[in-house]
């Protein structure tokens, strides 16, 4: 008799979270199917039946990560009263999120796969797109500040967005290498010291 239509004997969301944390800690290429089935508590047939493939599982796991982890980082951009405070809060929330002790350090989107991979590039393409979307979120907040007259008309929003996105990526690597929250916050302080130069203020 076919198993089609039978309810799965595991919690799919819980299994997906386990996969996400494993990919987060070890990256796409560093994570094997055996690693995944052990962490998720399922056999490989169940993994393939539920998620299709390792590649599809990673893509779903990164979407889950985007929805479940670090949401306070991006919320900080809209909640702050000024662009300067928005960027500072964005980086400070990054420092907190990347240095939590109960989960892998750093960022899955930044560290999940940095080279062309065995998925014919689909994994790298997806992460590259997500990183670009993150930069765009910064860019839009800065452009809004220019439009509202908070920042001067000549403010280079694109350069500033790239700079602060790059700082965030560097913090991810620092965190993965064991940097403390205090060390990450020191990086934030240094990055914000550059704000006056970027904004043309004294």
**pLDDT tens-digit series, residues 162-171:** 999 999 999 9
Of the options 1.10.1040.10, 1.10.10.60, 3.30.40.10, 3.40.50.2300, the CATH number for the domain spanning 12-66: 1.10.10.60
Name the CA dihedral angle for 20, 24, 29, 30, rounded to a multiple of 10 degrees.
-110
Q: Select 70-199's CATH number: 1.20.90.10, 1.10.357.10, 3.30.450.20, 3.90.650.10.
A: 1.10.357.10
Who contacts 30 (Cβ-Cβ below 8 Å, separation ≥6)? none
Give the model's pLDDT for residue 120.
Answer: 62
With vertex at residue 149, the alpha carbon angle to CA 192 and CA 142, rounded to the nearest 5 degrees, is 45
* Residues 105, 121: Cα–Cα separation, whole Å: 25
Task: Tell me the pLDDT band of 6, cut-offs 50, 70 and 90.
Answer: very low
Q: How much of the chain, in percent, has pLDDT values that exceed 90?
A: 78
Report percent pLDDT > 70 for the chain.
92
Write down the pLDDT at residue 131.
94
Residue 2 has a pLDDT of 43
Q: Which of 92, 105, 86 is nearest to 175 (CA)?
A: 105
> What pLDDT is attached to residue 116?
63
Residue range 95-120: mean pLDDT, rounded: 85
- Model-level pTM? 0.88
- On whether the CB atoms of residues 91 and 188 are closer than 8 A, the answer is yes
**Measured distance CA(193)–CA(188) in Å, rounded:** 9
Asked if 175 and 184 touch (Cβ cutoff 8 Å), the reply is yes
Name the residue ranges covered by the structural domains of the chain.
Answer: 12-66, 70-199
Is a pLDDT exceeding 90 seen at residue 108? Answer: yes
In this predicted structure, the answer to whether residue 148 has a pLDDT above a threshold of 80 is yes
Residue 15 per-residue DSSP state: H
Pair 164, 192: CB distance under 8 Å: no
How does DSSP assign 96-142, residue by residue?
HHHT-TTS-SS-HHHHS--S--TTTTHHHHHHHHHHHHHHHHHHHHH
Identify the pLDDT of residue 39.
94
Pair 184, 107: CB distance under 8 Å: no
pLDDT in tens, 61-86: 999 999 999 889 999 888 899 999 99
pLDDT surpasses 70 at 51? yes
The residue count for the chain: 202
Whose CA is closest to 175, among 165, 188, 184?
184
The whole-chain average pLDDT of the chain stands at 90
């Amino acid at each position: 008799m076919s198993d089609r239509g039978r309810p799965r004997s595991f919690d799919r969301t819980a299994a997906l979270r386990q996969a996400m944390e494993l990919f987060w800690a070890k990256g796409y290429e560093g994570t094997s199917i055996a690693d995944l089935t052990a962490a998720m508590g399922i056999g490989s047939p169940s993994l393939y039946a539920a998620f299709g493939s390792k590649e599809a599982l990673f893509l779903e796991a990164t979407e889950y990560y985007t929805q479940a982890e670090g949401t306070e980082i991006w919320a900080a951009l809209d909640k702050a009263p000024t662009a300067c405070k928005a960027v500072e809060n964005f980086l400070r929330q990054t420092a907190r999120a990347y240095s939590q002790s109960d989960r892998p350090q750093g960022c899955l989107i930044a560290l999940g796969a940095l080279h062309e991979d065995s998925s014919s590039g689909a994994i790298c393409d997806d992460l590259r797109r997500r990183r670009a979307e993150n930069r765009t979120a910064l860019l839009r907040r800065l452009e809004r500040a220019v439009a509202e007259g908070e920042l001067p008309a000549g403010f280079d929003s694109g350069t500033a967005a790239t700079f602060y996105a790059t700082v965030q990526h560097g913090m991810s690597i620092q965190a993965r290498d064991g940097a403390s929250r205090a060390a990450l916050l020191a990086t934030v302080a240094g990055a914000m010291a550059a704000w006056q130069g970027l904004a043309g203020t004294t």
